[in-house]
Structure 1
Amino acid sequence: MRATVADVLNLPHLRLVLFAGASGLDRTVSWAHASDLDSPWDWMAGGELLMRNGRTLPADGAAQAALLHSCADAGASGIVVGEDPQMPALRGALRAAAEERDLAVLTASYSVSFAAVARAVADANSGEDSARFGQIERIYGALRDTLGGRTGDSPIARLGRDLGCLLLLLDTSTGHPVDPTAPEPDPALREALLAGVGAHDGRIPGVLHLQPAGRATALAVEVPAAEPAVLVAVDLPGMDTSLLHHLATAAAVETAHQAMVREHERRLGAELLAHLFDTRIDGPTARRELAATGLDCAHALVVAAHHDDGPGQRDLHLTLSRRRIPHLLLKRGDLFLALLRDDPRDLAALHHRLGPRTALGVSTTVGSPERIPAARREAVWALSLARTAPGRRARYGDETTYTVLRSIEEAQAVADRVLGPLLDYDEANGTDLTGSLETFLRHRRSWQRTAAALNVHKQTVMYRMQRVEQLTGRLLAETADLTELWIAFQARALLSGTATS
């Protein structure tokens, strides 16, 4: 049997003295836990004998009582206060709280180390080691079986049955299961988890205590993963924190397995989206493939961003999957492209994961599979405006400064009318006046910077711009003509599917 607080108090070499809470002396002690943190209960699972230096004890009686109440709520077995010269007086409020909560408060002499108390508890509980080792062996046995392919069970499901408790592997931000095929948790438990995570600013302390309405107290610990996850245990035998962290290791393996499954789905989705952009799938097949992913062209849109190698884009498929957001993602050249539902919440989740400084271009509603390539061009053109748009997000067709381009057909008409003579001349003569003009506009009509960018003499740039004026019938010194030329390049970018800025 485990040692009790009374057993520890009665060990002569420790010279512990009972201050208050005699009715709690029969509580069992799992181990001794030393902590001077402001909220040590965040790292307790129950059964701990909390050891605290006297100098870190609050001087105010109400604060001392609050400390005890919080430890009692976390299931502590008792509190040991180490006496030292800076220790404040133990107040009557602390005594009253100890009696009320049946939680013993002991004092330790300045000459007695906390290590001695911890060793005494460990020695007293040595008979319990074999049972704990057996539980730990079951945990890693379940992992071996899973990794060896000898069972179709997830290790968490199997361990929950073996230990006689409920184990849940949940997304930290949403409370949904990491595995989209797993059943949803009890709503009260999910609400308690989200409230607990929110109370800690999204971070998980050593152990998060959850008290869902009408349910037994549950414990949650962080699981290391690319996307934040927690392991929640309800009715864990002995409320053993060390066992809980071994279970978190098993959960990390399952999380990694789920990440592999999601990565496989991402690759298949990227292949499908590439085929849709390149019109390599007929309409009926496209609708059937999209329906299998949960997407419907009648209520979908294309989103474009500039590609980067950051974790936001790299792990976006995990974020969207855990939030049950149907999606297809594709990296092509310097672009990052997504097909999502036309739902503000889905778009907001994507933008939040990529970061508020990421510029997004959004198409109009796709409507049909045949229009997906056009929607891609719309999203890329909108991306060229997103850098200066409110919230760094622009949607094709919204009211902007450049409202002339309302459709692909209008873009084609503008490009042909304004740039057509230049393009025809370049094709016939093997020149690139069109590219020189675009470079000139990008460099704010600076002869010197344009010459450097094109690696030619400034006089060559001046000659080329004179030829441009002759062919287009537009003067580069006229604001109206410049605006028309710039919009024509935007139209060309829309048609070619390359973003400009």
Structure 2
Amino acid sequence: MAMTVKELLDEPQLGLRLLAGADGLGHPVTWSHTSDLPQLWEWVSPGVLLMTNGLSIPAKPEAQVHLARSLVAAGAVALAVGEKMHAPEFSDQFLAACDALPLPLVSVPYPLPFMAISRSIAEASLLEESRRIKQTARIYDLLRKATTPGETWSQLLTGIGKEIRARLYVVDDRCQHPWQPGDAALPEDVLVRVRKVTSESTAETRHFLWTADGGESMLIMEIPTHPHALLVILPEDRMQPDGVVLLHSATVLGLGLSRSALAMESRYRSGGEFLLQSFEGRIGAAEAARRLEDFGFPAGDLRLLSVPAQAEVGLPQVHSTLWRHGINSVCVVGEDKLHLMVSEYCPEDQLLHVFDPSLPIGMSRPVGIEAIARGLRESLWALGQATARGVRLVGYSEDAPWFGLGGHRDGAELVQRLLGPVIEHDRLNGTDFMATLRSYLDNQRSAQKVAALLFVHRQTIIYRIRKISELTGLDMAETSAVAQLWLAFQVHEAMGPGERVPRG
């Protein structure tokens, strides 16, 4: 065990004297540090005896009390101040605060060098270093023994918690929900403390942040290699876990999370392949039912969701985030949209929580295994409605018209009638009239702007627009014709891939 403050005071060659904080004599001293910089608590780590010549100790009583409280909150186990140096007179309020916290206040006789104190602590720490090495080895061995993927995480949390004598929680730093489904949630009082501490801290200090509230210590650490994964440690007694051991513990937990991430990556790829086959009608109902059972979907109807794809967020991360919040899903990206399949009982409030508030969500009606492609068409149609109306989530309903159209069937007929000839011409001749028309409508019908965007001559654009007019039978100079084509394009973008092929 580490040397205690009392054992340090009992060393006769040092001649140290206790001024206040006698109830903290049992605090273990893991290291010492010397500083006369402002805000001394910023240079303290847990278990440290802080030594100072007093230059940074304030003269006002309330400031001295604030210093004592801040040192304890940062994890300091004692404050040693050199006699006959630069410290102001200690106020009664400061001494009372040291007694109450408790924070042992130690007087260092002049001219004893601080190095003598550090040497005593270092010599006493040799045995502690041996204990630390053995404890670290046992923690890494927990990862070796936890070989079953589904059990690895719970085994690690339980084993490491017992080893360091602390309760461990891993949460998402954005919402403080458990990082993996089935994990214990933060107790309400701890949740309040975590939110307060993280809101007041900077990104730089959140890598390793000790705090104490009412005498109860709490450590918040980031888990390496897993952005937004936050490790919350609540020691079971006043003896705080060794900082180096905690860093190794976080590394082992990160490796455990990586095992889960690899399993989710494999599941994501398999699920995306399944969805593509279902959208294209290349998988039978019996095979689809078997695959869904493998993905963990209960018997019953499903819902399809469509969301604009975010370039800055990889799909596996979205997939994992849904899983961490208890939403079982398979998903795939297609045509700048993220398509997901979830259970019909998936809570809407959880979906709204997981996805960015700026993203609209389209949701199909419940569909059976044989109607997944129809669910995709409905979710895309609902997404178009959500985008047009500025609503976060819209469920498909033929009773809620969009642009006067009763549903995706009406929309498919409109697209076929107006844009079908253009799509067919592109397919047969290898042209790109649809892209030209889209750009023409988006740029105020300016042939010059479209030519610059598409890197062609202005006369080429004029020829293409004339040809499109012939194919559609619409005069592009007429506002009514432009309005019809613009509407057809809105519907076209909210349709499933299968519906975009014109019917002959």
Q: TM-score, normalised by structure 1?
A: 0.78
Q: Distance in 1 between matches of 2:454 and 2:82?
A: 76
Q: Which residue is 2:191 aligned to?
A: 194
| Alignment check: 8 A CA contact 1:80 1:106 kept | yes
Q: Which residue is 1:319 aligned to?
A: 321
Q: Distance in 2 between matches of 1:360 and 1:38?
A: 47
Q: Distance in 2 between matches of 1:410 and 1:48?
A: 73
Q: Distance in 2 between matches of 1:42 and 1:344?
A: 46
| Alignment check: 8 A CA contact 1:423 1:434 kept | yes
Q: Which residue is 1:349 aligned to?
A: 353
Q: Distance in 2 between matches of 1:17 and 1:398?
A: 83
Q: Which residue is 2:390 aligned to?
A: 390
| Alignment check: 8 A CA contact 2:21 2:102 kept | yes
The one-letter amino acid of 1:282's match is G
The one-letter amino acid of 1:195's match is V
RMSD (Å), alpha carbons: 4.5
- The Cα offsets for residues 287-336 of structure 1, whole Å up to 9 and x where unpaired, read as 5644653477746231232352x345442223222221222221345443
Shift of 1:448: 1.4
The one-letter amino acid of 2:323's match is S
For residue 105 of structure 2, give the secondary structure of its aligned residue in structure 1. strand
Distance 1:320-1:432 versus aligned 2 partners, 3 A rule: closer
The one-letter amino acid of 1:206's match is F
Q: Distance in 1 between matches of 2:321 and 2:465?
A: 49
- The Cα offsets for residues 236-280 of structure 1, whole Å up to 9 and x where unpaired, read as 794332333332222222122222222223223223322332233
Q: Which residue is 1:304 aligned to?
A: 307
1:474 is the counterpart of 2:474: yes
- The Cα offsets for residues 69-100 of structure 1, whole Å up to 9 and x where unpaired, read as 46557775322246797755422211112233
| Alignment check: 8 A CA contact 1:51 1:81 kept | yes
1:442 is the counterpart of 2:442: yes
For residue 331 of structure 2, give the secondary structure of its aligned residue in structure 1. strand
Q: Distance in 1 between matches of 2:133 and 2:477?
A: 83
The one-letter amino acid of 1:407's match is G
Q: Distance in 2 between matches of 1:26 and 1:429?
A: 86
Q: Which residue is 1:30 aligned to?
A: 30
Q: Distance in 2 between matches of 1:205 and 1:457?
A: 57
The one-letter amino acid of 2:349's match is R
Q: Which residue is 2:255 aligned to?
A: 253
Q: Distance in 2 between matches of 1:111 and 1:269?
A: 72
1:123 is the counterpart of 2:123: yes
Q: Distance in 1 between matches of 2:456 and 2:74?
A: 75
Q: Distance in 1 between matches of 2:310 and 2:499?
A: 12
For residue 349 of structure 2, give the secondary structure of its aligned residue in structure 1. helix
For residue 79 of structure 1, give the secondary structure of its aligned residue in structure 2. strand
Q: Which residue is 2:282 aligned to?
A: 280
The one-letter amino acid of 1:264's match is S
The one-letter amino acid of 2:350's match is D
1:369 is the counterpart of 2:373: no
| Alignment check: 8 A CA contact 1:361 1:381 kept | no
Q: Which residue is 1:270 aligned to?
A: 272
| Alignment check: 8 A CA contact 1:276 1:372 kept | yes
Q: Distance in 2 between matches of 1:401 and 1:42?
A: 64
Paired-residue identity, %: 28
For residue 331 of structure 1, give the secondary structure of its aligned residue in structure 2. strand
Distance 1:81-1:472 versus aligned 2 partners, 3 A rule: same
Q: Distance in 2 between matches of 1:340 and 1:84?
A: 72
The one-letter amino acid of 1:344's match is E
**Equivalence map 1:424-463=2 (5 Å):** 434-453=434-453, 456-463=456-463
The one-letter amino acid of 1:449's match is K
Q: Distance in 2 between matches of 1:60 and 1:391?
A: 56
Shift of 1:146: 4.9
The one-letter amino acid of 2:354's match is L
| Alignment check: 8 A CA contact 2:17 2:107 kept | yes
Q: Distance in 2 between matches of 1:251 and 1:466?
A: 64
Q: Distance in 1 between matches of 2:314 and 2:108?
A: 51
132-141 or 13-22, which deviates more: 13-22
Q: Distance in 1 between matches of 2:192 and 2:384?
A: 40
18-27 or 472-481, which deviates more: 18-27
Distance 1:227-1:340 versus aligned 2 partners, 3 A rule: farther
Q: Distance in 2 between matches of 1:393 and 1:111?
A: 72
Structure 2 counterpart of 1:330, from 325, 329, 332 = 332
Distance 1:10-1:332 versus aligned 2 partners, 3 A rule: same
| Alignment check: 8 A CA contact 2:218 2:232 kept | no
Shift of 1:68: 2.8
| Alignment check: 8 A CA contact 1:366 1:372 kept | no
| Alignment check: 8 A CA contact 1:381 1:499 kept | no
| Alignment check: 8 A CA contact 1:4 1:29 kept | yes
Shift of 1:199: 0.9
For residue 80 of structure 1, give the secondary structure of its aligned residue in structure 2. strand
| Alignment check: 8 A CA contact 2:171 2:177 kept | yes
Shift of 1:436: 3.9
Shift of 1:230: 0.9
Shift of 1:164: 7.7
Q: Distance in 2 between matches of 1:436 and 1:177?
A: 49
Q: Distance in 1 between matches of 2:118 and 2:413?
A: 82
Q: Distance in 2 between matches of 1:139 and 1:75?
A: 24
| Alignment check: 8 A CA contact 1:172 1:194 kept | no
**Equivalence map 1:28-177=2 (5 Å):** 28-33=28-33, 40=41, 45=46, 47-51=47-51, 54-69=54-69, 71-72=71-72, 76-81=76-81, 87-108=87-108, 116-146=116-146, 154-161=155-162, 163=163, 165=165, 167-173=167-173
How many residues are matched? 486
Distance 1:190-1:485 versus aligned 2 partners, 3 A rule: same
